[in-house]
Structure 1
Amino acid sequence: MDGLIDRVETERKLRNVWHWLPDAVSEFPIETWAELNVTVADSNAPYRPVTRFESLLQKTTTVRYLRPEVALMEPCFDVLYRQVHDGVDVTLIDRPNCHTYFLSTYPERSSELLQQDNFTVLEHDELPPYGTGLLDERVTISCYEQESGTVQAVIDTDAPPVRGWAQSVYENYLSDARPIESRL
């Protein structure tokens, strides 16, 4: 009964963000759904998903993120900066205009990060509409409102089927990504 209740609660949380999720989520075994931690923004707590992501970022030693987006990473920029200086291995794959934003808004910090051996920034022109992150044992899926880019939800889990899917998606885009230095 507890398992069923967990699944129903997860389904309720996913219902409002389902259209932002990758199609693969519907293909995960139904048992996996109860293992999804769904953090949704609402009018009383619009930054709740970003806060959840930031808490995960503070606990990790490896970050591999496909399409992190400005709305997710800018509020976490100080944490990311500290993590890189503490030796966390970070690889980000995002759209060129996202990198341009950080380079122009935070020129000194961005330049300093780009000089670190444990910080890699790659770009890709054709990314999915959602973010996929691999943080140590956790996987995150970030859901963005396409018009504004705001973070609507962050889903995180340590479920093996989700990790396998996320690894595959990340590696697929990694193979075609190019270093940011190619356009500087």
Structure 2
Amino acid sequence: MSDELVELARRASALAVLRDGALDRRELQERLGVSRPTAHRFTRTFEDQGLVERSAGELSLTPMGAVIAESVAEFRETVETAQRVEPVFEIVSDADPTFVREAFGNATVTTAEPGDPYRGVRRFMSLVEDSERLRGVDPTAINPLHLDGLHARIVDGMETDAIFLPGVVESLLRSNPDRAREAFESGNLTLRVHDDLPFGLTLCDDRIGIGLYDDETGLLKTYIDTASPAAREWAEDVYADYRDESTLLSEHSELSELLPAEAETND
């Protein structure tokens, strides 16, 4: 990156202020919260570069300045978004900057903390409470602290279609036979089995979420959710791929025997 581009990035705030309309030097100084010499240096540099022009004592962006100001703002937003949702790149490794901005620019990022390891799970459950339909891909077992809550939502009518690893499905059904029977008998639960699930993905009514898990503990370490249409489209495609590659529990050669008899026709 040239020195000029670095300087533009550093002075992105000044360009952003001028995108809102013409200002005199004192107004620019006040809006930026900088000293008079600093404001003078900004305006002189921008004038020398042909980015601003002066008319009737006010500074405004030139046509070229407007284009560059928009580009610098997009660059800054992309960098800030990328830093905030860094875990996403473990999953969407080939994402282009525009997709990252559009899909995750306004995402909510919830990270586990030493004194509160279940922050991400609580965030997920808050979305489930308001959702009439839940689809998901999950590489780990359901957190026992929230199993009752999920069971209640399913029995109460939340249509749920979930994809798990074989071992997770087996553990879930063997450890919770009564809950499993009630959930399947409600007709609202469909379980599928997949052998390779590297991350978690949830699709609720209004938001989609990505879950990243700790390799050692299996706990959810980061949950990133968003309502953006771009992220929804991406999540729908990813979920469809895993669904197509998965096996219905009722058709699984080894695990289907764990299904309650009444549920085999509902799965």
**Structure 1 position 104 matched with structure 2 position 174:** yes
Q: TM-score, normalised by structure 1?
A: 0.85
Shift of 1:100: 1.1
**Structure 1 position 140 matched with structure 2 position 140:** no
Structure 1 stretches of 4+ moved >4 Å: 1-12, 24-27
Q: Confirm or deny: 8 A CA contact 1:20 1:130 kept in the other structure.
A: no
> 3-state DSSP class of the match of 1:161?
helix
Q: Which amino acid aligns with 1:153?
A: T
Q: 2:185 aligns with which of 91, 107, 115?
A: 115
Q: TM-score, normalised by structure 2?
A: 0.60
- Alignment length (residue pairs): 181
Change (3 A) 1:32 1:177: closer
Shift of 1:75: 2.8
Computing the radius of gyration from Cα coordinates, the structure with the larger value is 2
| Worse overlay, 89-98 or 20-29 | 20-29
Indicate the residue corresponding to 1:84 in structure 2. Answer: 154
Q: CA offsets per residue over residues 50-89 of structure 1, 9 Å max, x none? A: 110111111100000012621x543321111111121110
| Worse overlay, 138-147 or 22-31 | 22-31
- 2: CA distance between counterparts of 1:170 and 1:150? 21
> 3-state DSSP class of the match of 2:157?
coil
Q: 1:158 aligns with which of 227, 230, 234?
A: 227
Q: 2:199 aligns with which of 119, 130, 151?
A: 130
What does 1:54-73 align with in structure 2 at a 5 Å threshold? 54-67=125-138, 69-70=140-141, 72-73=142-143
- 1: CA distance between counterparts of 2:85 and 2:196? 25
Q: Which structure shows the bigger proportion of residues in strand conformation? A: 1
Shift of 1:8: 6.4
Q: Which amino acid aligns with 2:200?
A: G
Q: Which has the higher relative contact order, 1 or 2, with Cα contacts under 8 A spaced 6 or more apart?
A: 1
Indicate the residue corresponding to 1:46 in structure 2. Answer: 117
> 3-state DSSP class of the match of 2:245?
coil
- 1: CA distance between counterparts of 2:145 and 2:92? 24
Q: Confirm or deny: 8 A CA contact 1:68 1:132 kept in the other structure.
A: no
Shift of 1:26: 5.7
Q: Confirm or deny: 8 A CA contact 2:159 2:188 kept in the other structure.
A: yes
Change (3 A) 1:76 1:6: farther
- 2: CA distance between counterparts of 1:29 and 1:11? 7
- 2: CA distance between counterparts of 1:25 and 1:157? 16
> 3-state DSSP class of the match of 1:149?
coil
Shift of 1:171: 0.6
**Structure 1 position 176 matched with structure 2 position 266:** no
- 1: CA distance between counterparts of 2:139 and 2:150? 12
Change (3 A) 1:77 1:60: same
> 3-state DSSP class of the match of 1:154?
strand
Q: Which amino acid aligns with 1:52?
A: R
Percent identity for Structure 1 against Structure 2: 29
- 1: CA distance between counterparts of 2:191 and 2:227? 25
Shift of 1:7: 6.5
Q: 2:104 aligns with which of 22, 27, 33?
A: 33
CA RMSD for the aligned pairs? Answer: 2.5
Q: Confirm or deny: 8 A CA contact 1:50 1:75 kept in the other structure.
A: no
Shift of 1:166: 0.4
Q: Confirm or deny: 8 A CA contact 2:139 2:165 kept in the other structure.
A: no
